[in-house]
Structure 1
Amino acid sequence: MKKITSYVFIILLITLGSILIFNTQITNWVIDFLSNRAYQTKITSSNQDTTTFNYKSVKPVSSYSVAMQALKPHSDGLIAKINIPAVDIKLPIFYGLSNRNLIRGVGTMKRHQKLGKGNYAIAGHYMTSSGVLFSPLANVHFGEKIYLINRHYQYIYRITGKSIIHNYQIGVIKNIPQANYKFNPNKPGIFQ
């Protein structure tokens, strides 16, 4: 009996040590899994009035918050998708800046903004591990295309600038009047 208890204790220590050593990799894998699963779901057009747009309430991603999201996943609130093929970004866009939304993808920063009209401000976490959430954005170049897709149209934006935005530098979300193109997926090849 004492021998079995020792083996169980050793296995428990090895498992706990492995979790601590590979914590970042496990967390990144779960985030990637959650965002890919959300990206594959159907886009809804309903905005949730109960969400927050308070960027100060956004918390950094932690292993605990990711684990809680994985244990009780939500598939609601997907209003659009962002695709930046040049850096292999495919993320769901959710209405609002809740921590739950930002673990699964990106969130909208303004309550009444319209996709395809001026500056469509979204926010997401930049992770230090490549390939997770917005981490590939560091590798974008001028002129590359960004595709935003909702239930009805695909909007094409082009990268015209690149800069590091600090946490509370919110002046960049103001509308910029520029022409954007929208692609009607029901009429392939026709831009409006």
Structure 2
Amino acid sequence: MSLTIFLLLLIISLSLIFNQQIKDYLVGSYHPEISQTKINSNTKKSGNFNFKKVKSLDLQMIAKARAKKNALHVVGAISIPAIKMNLPIAKGVDNYTLALAAGTMRDDQKMGQGNYPLAGHHMNSHKILFSPLYWKSKVGQKIYLTDLKKVYEYKTTEKTYIAATRVDVVENTPGQNIITLVTCDATGEGRLMVRGKLVKKMAYKEAPKSVQNNFAKSFKNK
């Protein structure tokens, strides 16, 4: 066996062995530089909301998403302190978006108004994307959203499993200010849904310092 072939096989073997660790690093180290001005601009951009085209997440998809710096239209961040989940929120549910962030599920959704649904991948790792939601979320936990202008505090009221066909949970709920978080169940065939109700909202600078620090883990606040 030539040295070149040996090294190639070694690289392939190592990539297979450390596949999950590499994925965790690429996702966990994604911290986009963002500003309120950029969020306002991204909010006006179009997004892909075709859930049927969402694919399972692999290393190749994550690597491509990291390589395409402008592929994600970041519009905010989500933080659930009790389960140490801190993620950027980006517009739409295309595969690049869901590889690195929580994705909005309707074009017209607004933080703190009606139903604010977000989708995210659940992976083997308990730490990245919506995996903490699957493994550790409980009723009563606080959920925070921000667009860098305001912070919206929700309280978890429901954790339940639903059919993948339940697209009604994405629909708006005028007069009822809630958040809906959706991820795959253990089989990949069904969905886990976590819901919370809006408790209060505040200016970003008036939010507790601990909350601001958690958001800082999602992106660089410029």
Band the TM-score falls in, shorter-chain normalisation = 0.7 to 0.9
Segments of structure 2 that go 5 or more residues without pairing to the other structure are: 178-196, 209-222
CA contact (8 A) 1:58 1:99 kept: yes
Amino acid at match of 2:34: T
**CA distance 1:118–1:65, change in 2 (3 Å):** same
Please say if residues 96 and 109 of structure 1, whose CA atoms lie closer than 8 Å, have aligned partners that are also in contact: yes
Deviating more after overlay: 40-49 vs 124-133: 40-49
TM-score (norm 1): 0.84
Richer in strand (by share): 2
* Per-residue deviation, residues 80-137 of structure 1 (Å, max 9, x unmatched): 1000000000001111112111111011111111110122111111112110100001
The separation in 2 between residues aligned to 1:62 and 1:188, in whole angstroms, is 36
2:150 is aligned with 1:153 = yes
- Scaled by the length of structure 2, the TM-score of the pair is 0.74
Larger radius of gyration: 1
| Contact 1:105/1:133 (8 A) holds in 2 | yes
1:184 aligns with 2:203: yes
Counterpart residue number, 1:87 = 83
Unpaired runs of 5+ in structure 1?
none
**2:166 corresponds to which residue?**
169
State how far apart, in whole Å, the 1-side matches of 2:126 and 2:23 are: 13
Question: Do 1:94 and 1:105's aligned partners in 2 also have CA atoms closer than 8 Å?
Answer: yes
Alignment-derived partner of residue 96 in structure 2: 100
In the TM superposition, what are the counterparts of 1:1-192 in structure 2 within 5 Å? Answer: 6-34=2-30, 37-38=31-32, 41-43=34-36, 44-46=39-41, 47-74=43-70, 76-138=72-134, 139-176=136-173, 177-178=176-177, 180=198, 181-187=200-206
User: What number of residue pairs does the alignment pair up?
Assistant: 182
Percentage of matched positions with identical amino acids? 32
Q: Whose relative contact order is higher, 1 or 2, with alpha carbons under 8 Å and at least 6 apart?
A: 2
Kindly tell me: are residues 30 and 166 of structure 1, through their superposed partners in 2, closer, same or farther at Cα, counting changes over 3 Å?
farther
Q: CA deviation at 1:24?
A: 2.5
Moved more, 49-58 or 145-154: 49-58
**Quick check: 106-115 or 25-34, which moved more?**
25-34
